[in-house]
Amino acid sequence: MTRIMEYLIQGTRIFLASWKARFKPREYAGNANQICRKIVKDCWNGQFFQVSTTNFPQFWTRDFGWCTISLLKLGYEQKVKQTLKYALNRFVEADRITTTITPGGKPFDFPTRAVDSLPWLIHSIKLSRFYYGAYRDFLNKEIQKLFNEVVSVEIGLVKPNLHVSSMKDFSVRTSSCYDNCMIALLAKDLRSMIGLVNPFKQYDYPKLIVKHFWNGKYFYDDLSKQEYIAGDANIFPFALGIVSDEDKFRSAMNMIQVAELDQPLPLKYTASRRKVRFILQEYFLYNYESNVIWTHMGPLYIRLIQKLDKWQAEDYKKKYTELIEKYLGYPEVLSVEGERVKPFRTPFYAGDRGMLWAANYLTL
């Protein structure tokens, strides 16, 4: 009952914040770089980096993980470490690592526990060289717990019958490619982290990811192996350095373009909602995680394309620059109407325009 109440409280808070912002969205003056720098600055609240300026004034484990390397490049090393200290202290108090910490400082899983929370936290610790000695016992307990409860010992992958939250947290997937890439990232990071256990080291995750998800042209979204192309399934094996095969990389990037997940700018999760299952709450944010454009994946995809076609990557970045300067912010999600895009909204929700993800645009 406590979790349900917390879910309602946080849902109501986000609804009210987004409803207010739909009539008077926060706007920033300047060019795209200036706008994004101001947003990142405003996402620092004195204690930690919150995920956005309006709807999500809280720590979100995966979002912080997406941005850690960029925040370090932008000179925020001490603030990154302070954020990790804030999050770890709250997690230790709650005796668990969660997807988010509420604005009031309470660790909370939305909508349920996620496979990627611990991997992103560990990855941020490693990238920032944060001293984790005081948290070693707690982290080891959480690592072993994740292995025991989430991983199928027989195959080394996330248990197919386990419903977990993920970066597409409103969808229901069967051991997704993204989640298994996160387990692979964790296994890789733990190899070089002194004092931390690594129960995942017995598995060859690059081979497992290819064996179970690669179909010859692209990576399946999950183990159900539905015939559609998913953006996250095809960028994270490469973005995280799990798969390094050049031919597979070129093929996956090509299939993303064939499916037009990069149009009119990157990147969509899928071209449509067909064949994708969603939880009941998705009704209130209809299409929030189907064929809309997510700006957290856009820069990650552009960074990959830079390795293949610098002109194409530059064109994508130009479109992002125009978007940022048009809406005087860094929109969270974009609805697509033909060749036009606009900030996502439903009667129950209006997307944020001040995302910490702006840091990834700044480091393209």
What pLDDT is stored for residue 233 in this prediction? 97
Is 170's pLDDT higher than 80?
A: no
Sequence length of the chain is 364
- For the segment 184-232, what is each residue's pLDDT rounded down to a tens digit? 999 999 999 999 999 999 999 999 999 999 999 999 999 999 999 999 9
- Residue 54 CA to residue 52 CA, distance in Å, equals 6
What pLDDT is stored for residue 294 in this prediction? 92
- Residue 298 domain boundaries: 2-362
What pLDDT is stored for residue 283 in this prediction? 52
Is 12's pLDDT higher than 80?
A: no
Q: Specify the 3-state DSSP secondary structure of 67.
A: helix
Is 1's pLDDT higher than 60?
A: no
- Give the H/E segment covering residue 277: strand 277-278
How confident is residue 180, by pLDDT bands cut at 50, 70 and 90?
A: very high
Is 265's pLDDT higher than 50?
A: yes
Report the 10 Å Cβ neighbour count for 246: 9
What pLDDT is stored for residue 168 in this prediction? 76
- For the segment 280-321, what is each residue's pLDDT rounded down to a tens digit? 565 556 566 567 899 999 999 999 999 999 999 999 999 999
What pLDDT is stored for residue 7 in this prediction? 58
| Domain harbouring 94, CATH code | 1.50.10.10
Prediction pTM value: 0.94
Which amino acid does the sequence have at 289?
E
Is 358's pLDDT higher than 90?
A: yes
What pLDDT is stored for residue 273 in this prediction? 64
Nearest to 80 by CA among 66, 56, 64: 64
What pLDDT is stored for residue 299 in this prediction? 98
Q: Taking a C-beta distance cutoff of 8 angstroms, is the pair 293, 334 a contact?
A: yes
- For the segment 223-260, what is each residue's pLDDT rounded down to a tens digit? 999 999 999 999 999 999 999 999 999 999 999 999 99
> How many structural domains compose the chain?
1
